[in-house]
Amino acid sequence: MAIAEVAAIDNWTPKEREEQGESLQRDGIVIRTYDLWKTYIMGDQEINAVSGVDVQIKRGEYVAIMGPSGSGKSTLMNLIGCLDTPSRGLYYLNGKLASDMEDDELARIRNKEIGFVFQTFNLLARASALHNVELPLIYAGISAHERIEKARAALRAVDLEKRMDHKPNELSGGQRQRVAIARALVNNPSILLADEPTGALDTKTGDEIMALFERLYNEGNTIVLVTHEPDIAMHAHRIIHIRDGKVDRDEVTRK
């Protein structure tokens, strides 16, 4: 992006920022970053973990963000997932300017707009699969009856309805990840954000989870997969390569 364009973005009025969000939403663009930076102060040094990233992801895309350790991909994931805020630049999520939001607004966005899938599952050990999937709905203030119906439907979508009363220690690693995916889907989020989702699984189970992501993509879900493994990234239909905090290249792998 040219320097003049960056300056223009910095000078957008609140009305212009709102109109840009409406335009992105009309065009089906779920994720749009403009000159996004994340800078950390380490003593007397400034470390730019993300350096002026411009990324656009449309509704219904299946995208992998890939890079080696220290490339900035995890920081970019945290920014896209509203787990962190940028030092500079703009970030629109489903037409909403997330980079301008306060903590309470970001928490609401994380609950309603983003479904998270983590490498370590992050399930409550003493809760059933059904209750684990219900959790985002509890935070959203959904009634008990509707929560159970939605949680059952999400578990059915990942072929785990018959195991809904089982606790995590009664499930295999692949089944636990399916519970985590059901929990991520239960609020019908704008994006499914998966961070190294097969990292704790054996190869066969990992392949099954990636086949599930492909199925969810074919059903219309927007999936953003963060990984350092080329074979996992190749399951996506587009790969954004991150190096030294910047987009190194952006390639379509299949249509």
pLDDT in tens, 39-79: 999 888 999 999 999 999 999 999 999 999 889 999 999 99
Region 247-254: mean pLDDT is 92
pLDDT averaged over every residue in the chain: 92
* pLDDT band, residue 1 (cuts 50/70/90): very low
The percentage of residues in the chain with a pLDDT greater than 90, rounded to a whole number, is 84
* pLDDT band, residue 4 (cuts 50/70/90): very low
Two tokens, residue 159: 């072929």
Region 240-253: mean pLDDT is 95
Q: Look at residue 5 in the predicted model and tell me its pLDDT.
A: 53
Q: Residue 38 belongs to what H/E stretch?
A: strand 29-42
Q: Look at residue 42 in the predicted model and tell me its pLDDT.
A: 87
- Residue 185: helix, strand or coil by DSSP? helix
* pLDDT band, residue 127 (cuts 50/70/90): very high
CB neighbour list of residue 154: distance below 8 Å, 6 or more residues apart: 133, 182, 183, 185, 186
Two tokens, residue 113: 């707009």
In the chain, helix, strand, coil percent, each to 5? Answer: 40, 25, 30
Q: Is 165 exposed, middle or buried (0-12, 13-18, 19+ CB in 10 A)?
A: exposed
Q: Look at residue 119 in the predicted model and tell me its pLDDT.
A: 86
**pLDDT for 2 beyond 50:** no
Cα–Cα distance between 125 and 148 in angstroms, integer?
A: 19
Q: Look at residue 141 in the predicted model and tell me its pLDDT.
A: 86
Tens of pLDDT, residues 68-120: 988 999 999 999 999 999 999 999 999 999 999 999 999 999 988 999 998 88
**pLDDT for 164 beyond 70:** yes
Tell which residue, 24, 10, 183, has the closest CA to residue 93. 24
Assess contact for 251 and 241: CB atoms under 8 A. Answer: yes
**pLDDT for 10 beyond 80:** no
Tell which residue, 180, 230, 222, 223, has the closest CA to residue 200. 180
Question: What is the DSSP secondary-structure string of 114-126?
Answer: EEEEETT----TT
Tens of pLDDT, residues 209-229: 999 999 999 999 999 999 999
Q: Is the dihedral of CA 136, 79, 157, 180 positive or negative?
A: negative
Two tokens, residue 59: 């509704």
Q: Which of 6-10, 25-29, 60-64, 185-189 has the lowest mean pLDDT?
A: 6-10
